[in-house]
């Protein structure tokens, strides 16, 4: 994936939304936000919540991965 990103491409990646964090987001990432419209969150943290993000870069020095989360507009 790193070689792919270094060539200027992006990658659509399936991640576990339960462990997804964002240091730059204006609001914290929450696992509940990924439920389809009309379903309710039972406020119980699941072990796994599949969610796709667009990985667009990384920083080897800090170990950071840059991604766009389609569930958020910022």
Counts for the chain of helices (H) and strands (E), in that order? 1, 3
25 domain residue, yes or no: yes
Domain encompassing residue 15: 2-68
Tokens of 45: 């943290």
22 domain residue, yes or no: yes
9 phi, psi to nearest 5 deg: -95, 170
Over the stretch 20-44, which tens digit does the pLDDT of each residue have? 887 776 665 554 554 555 555 555 5
52 domain residue, yes or no: yes
The strand pairing partners of 16, in sequence order, are 50
Write down the pLDDT at residue 43: 54
What's the total number of domains in the chain? 1
Write down the pLDDT at residue 21: 81
Write down the pLDDT at residue 22: 79
Residue 45 has pLDDT above 70, yes or no: no
Q: What is the DSSP letter of 37?
A: T
Q: What is the DSSP letter of 70?
A: T
Give all strands (DSSP E) within 1-49, no chain letters: 11-16
73 domain residue, yes or no: no
């Amino acid at each position: 994936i790193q070689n792919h990103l270094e060539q200027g491409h992006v990658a659509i990646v399936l991640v576990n939304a339960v462990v997804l964090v964002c240091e730059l987001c204006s609001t914290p990432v929450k696992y509940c936000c990924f439920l389809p419209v009309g379903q309710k969150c039972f406020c119980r943290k699941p072990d796994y919540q599949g969610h796709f993000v667009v990985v667009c870069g990384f920083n080897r020095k800090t170990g950071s991965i840059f991604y766009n989360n389609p569930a958020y507009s910022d």
